[in-house]
Amino acid sequence: MFGYLTQITAYLAEFVALFMAVFYLLTFIENKEEIDVSEEPGEYPSVAIVIPAYNEEKNIAATIASAAGLDYPSEKLHILVMDDGSKDRTLEMARVEAGKHPGRDIRASANPHGGKARTMNAAIKMIDTEIMVTLDADSCVSPDALKNMIPYFSKSDRVAAVVAAMKIRDPKTFLQKIQSAEYLFCFYIRKMNSFANGLLVTPGPFSAYRRSIFDEIGGFDEENITEDGEIALRLQKHQYSIEYCHNAEVFTSAPGTIKALKNQRVRWNRGTIRNFVKYRKFFANPVYGDFGLFIFPSTIVLLSIAFGLFLFSAADFAAISAKRFEYGTLFHISPLRFDNFFRFDKFFIQPTAMQIISIVIFGLSFVSLYFIRKYSPKDFKNMALFYVPYLLVYYPLFVLGFWTITVFYELTHRELAWHK
């Protein structure tokens, strides 16, 4: 039974994956000239960079230094460090670092501990600039990032947010390097999704918002543990657009152990599930354009099918193993036979339809390698060797495994805790 379910689900997964791969390829071809265009800001709006920090004494100085090093007019740039009741020396270190940049307006504010969303909302009330930017306290931004992001706001009054390209900061372990390949693969996917106004999150590491937007739709959801995903969906609900700036780089820390990675991804996944349930009216709703008719449904369908395939495959493997154990052949290895090994007809390959589709999908995925090589060449050399392990091992085992844990935690109502 599980074998048939696995086969049916596998074909569905192959079909959806092929459809998405072709969609991204055609989107890339259609918008290639627009990607190549790089604009200078016509004028520089006032910007407040908000850095929420909780127990970040080891990272806060480097983060503030990177914000102070942005290529942006000093009179237009304001940096506000919001200490969220840290128990270490975060506030002290922030004030020391602020003193090292006398040419910049840098303030460090002490706040009672209330979580990231509440701290961000407190910051919103304190600033009156045209643009507000979030910068996580464990992230560093490239000097030209803000200047590259600002022109996107000039495209339309409906552009509410602009997202930077997230990359892993100084990956050292094998696991971090695999994540680096993952982030760069998402670099391609997010750029293609942005052309259909299909971004599902405005990541905390470095995202810019029109300050006035918060007066209309409200601040960050203080009860939500993935507030950057919830605010993005709320912007979509109000039919604003979110742009992706591929040449604005922000480097963020990555988990170095499987346990830390599991904690992070399970939090993200549980937040995603709750946000999708909250905004379920998007599903196949033409009111929300391409986002409602294609991006939102396809994301849910692809995740559901992939998760189902993972579960059915695991169940099928368990059933086969149980049967072999019952007959005492669980660890039996068939003897190696060489008779007829060199027959001429053995050299003719007869692939199945699923194998052919898999090869096509795998080939189309390499379009992202071309995109990364062209638009982020300095990262390409370091991640190319880890790209195939990411596609063949990390994603099907780790990512779907984390989703299995996520569903189990949700069904058992496990307490939802914040992890980076």
Distance from C-alpha of 360 to C-alpha of 20, rounded to nearest angstrom: 12
Predicted pLDDT at 348: 47
* Residue type, position 323, single letter: K
The DSSP symbol for 142 reads -
Residue 289 confidence (pLDDT): 87
Number of residues assigned to the chain: 420
Chain center to CA of 390: 15
* Spatial CA neighbour of 136 closest among 110, 159, 164: 164
> 395: which DSSP letter?
I
| Residue among 262, 269, 258, 301 at smallest CA distance from 406 | 269
Query: What's the distance, Cα to Cα, between the start and end of the chain in Å?
Result: 40
Task: Write out the DSSP string of 358-404.
Answer: HHHHHHHHTHHHHHHHHHSHHHHHHHHHHHHHIIIIIIIIIIHHHHH
CB-based contacts of 12, cutoff 8 Å, min separation 6: 305
Domain 37-255 is classified in which CATH homologous superfamily? Spore Coat Polysaccharide Biosynthesis Protein SpsA; Chain A (3.90.550.10)
Residue 46 CA to residue 349 CA, distance in Å, equals 63
Domain boundaries, the chain: 37-255
pLDDT tens for the chain, residues 1 to 420? 556 777 777 778 778 888 888 889 999 999 988 887 777 788 899 999 999 999 999 999 999 999 999 999 999 999 999 999 999 999 999 999 999 999 999 999 999 999 999 999 999 999 999 999 999 999 999 999 999 999 999 999 999 999 999 999 989 888 898 899 889 888 999 999 999 999 999 999 999 999 999 999 999 999 998 999 999 999 999 999 999 999 999 999 999 999 999 999 999 999 999 999 999 999 999 999 889 998 999 889 888 887 777 777 777 667 766 766 656 555 555 554 545 544 544 444 556 666 777 778 778 878 888 898 888 888 887 777 787 777 777 777 788 889 889 988 998 988 876 655
- Would you tell me how many other CB atoms lie within 10 Å of the CB of residue 16? 16
Residue type, 409: Y
From CA 78, how far away is CA 81, in angstroms rounded? 10
**Token digits for 10?**
């596998």
Rounded Cα distance, 241 and 227, in Å:
17
At 327 the pLDDT is: 60
Tokens of 58: 């080891």
**Half-sphere CA count of 32, side-chain side, radius 13 A:** 10
Residues with Cβ within 8 Å of 372's Cβ and at least 6 positions away in sequence, in order, are 184, 185, 187, 188, 379, 380, 383
- Provide the token pair at 64: 């503030």
Task: Report the distance separating Cα 370 and Cα 188, nearest Å.
Answer: 10
